[in-house]
Amino acid sequence: MLWLAALSILIVSLVSFVGLLTISIKIERLRRILFALISLSVGALLGDVLLHILPELNPITPTVTTFIFVGFLIFFILEKFLRWHHGHEGEVHEDDVEMDPGHDTHHVGYLNLFSDGLHNFIDGLVIGGAYLVSIEVGIATTIAVILHEIPQEIGDFGLLLHVGFSRSRALAFNFFSALASFLGLLVVIILQSQSVGLIDIILPITAGGFIYIAGSDLVPELHKTSDAKKSLIQLISIIIGFAFMGLLTIFE
C-alpha cells in the first residue's frame, strides 16, 4: 500500500511544474482559474475531513480532539513562520513590488523554498498516514492536497521568478522542494515498522491542519469579492469539491 503512497506523492510533487503552464495564460484568466480552484479546494479539504478522516477516528475521544487542535496549531505556527520570514526579508510581495535588478534578492527565494519544503514534508506525513488507513482515504487525501497545492505552487513559482530566478531554475528548485514529501513518507514507514500508533496521531493532526487551511487561508481569499455572481460560483464550487469527496466514499 505504501507504494501507492509513494506514487501519490510523486504526482503531488509534479504539481510543482504547474507554474510552467501559467506563463502563457493572461493574468485575468489565471485569476479566474485560481478563483475556482480555491473554492474547490475548500470543499475538498472539508469533505476529506468530515467524510473520510473523522469517521476513521470513531470514537471521537478527548485525545482525538486534542490532536485535532494540535494539527490546527501546527499549521498556524507554520503560517506564522512563513509570514514572519517574508516580512523580515525585505517585504517582498510578488504583486506589488518591482525588484531592482542590481539588488540580490535570491535569499528570499531560498527561504521560500525552505519553508515550502517543510510544508511538503508535512504533506508526505499526511498522505502516508492516510494510506495506512485505506487506499480510499489515501486517494481522497491526495486529491485534497493536490487541489490545495496548485494555487500555492503557482504563487511560489511567481515569487521565484520575481526575485530573479530563471524559469528553468525556478521549476527545478520548486520540484526539489516538493520532493521533501518523500522524507515525510519515509518517517511514516520508519514509525510504522516500530509499531507506533501512527494513525491515531497523524489522522487527527491532518484533520486539524485541513480545517485550518480551509478556514484560515482559503475562505478569507473567497471573501475578498462580494460580487453576487462570483459568490454563487464560489458556493457551487465548494459544494462540488465536497460532493466529489462524497463520491469517493462509495468505493470505501
pLDDT of residue 104: 47
Query: What is the percent of the chain where pLDDT is above 90?
Result: 21
pLDDT in tens, 41-76: 899 989 999 998 898 887 889 999 999 999 999 888
Predicted local confidence at residue 93, as pLDDT? 41
**Rounded to an integer, what distance in angstroms lies between the CA atom of residue 110 and that of residue 121?**
16
Half-sphere exposure of 96 (CA within 13 A, CB side): 3
The Cα–Cα gap between 137 and 126 comes to 11
Report the percent of the chain where pLDDT is more than 70.
81
Q: b vs e for 202-226, b when ≥16 Cβ sit within 10 Å of the residue's Cβ?
A: bbbbbbbbbbbbbeebbbebbeeee
Q: Using 50, 70 and 90 to split pLDDT, how confident is the model at 203?
A: confident
The Cβ of residue 71 has, within 10 Å, a number of other Cβ atoms equal to 24
Q: Are 15 and 214 in contact (CB under 8 A)?
A: no
Q: Judge whether residue 30 has pLDDT over 90.
A: no
Place of cell 507504494: 3
CA 62 to chain centre: 27
| Least confident window among 20-34, 117-131, 136-150 | 20-34
Q: What is the pLDDT of residues 130-174, one digit of tens each?
A: 898 888 889 999 999 998 888 778 777 777 776 777 878 888 888
Please choose, from the candidates 202, 217, 37, the residue with its C-alpha nearest in 3D space to the C-alpha of residue 124: 202
pLDDT at residue number 72: 93
Cell numbers standing for residue 51: 467524510
pLDDT given for residue 80 in this prediction: 80
Least confident of 42-56, 77-91, 156-170, 196-210: 77-91
Location of C-alpha cell 479546494: 41
Please check whether residue 125 is in contact with residue 226, taking contact to mean a CB–CB distance below 8 angstroms: no
Mean pLDDT for the chain?
80
Answer yes or no: is pLDDT of 94 > 50.
no
C-alpha cell at 208: 486539524
Count of C-beta atoms within a 10 Å radius of residue 126 = 30
Q: Is the pTM of this model over 0.85?
A: no
Query: If you average pLDDT over residues 29-43, what whole number do you get?
Result: 80
Contact at 8 Å (CB) between 161 and 20? no
Phi, psi of 58 (to 5 degrees): -65, 130
Vertex 138: Cα angle to 149 and 55 (nearest 5)? 110
Check pLDDT > 90 for residue 182. yes
Choose from 65-79, 109-123, 187-201 the range with maximum mean pLDDT: 65-79
CB count in 10 Å sphere of residue 132: 19
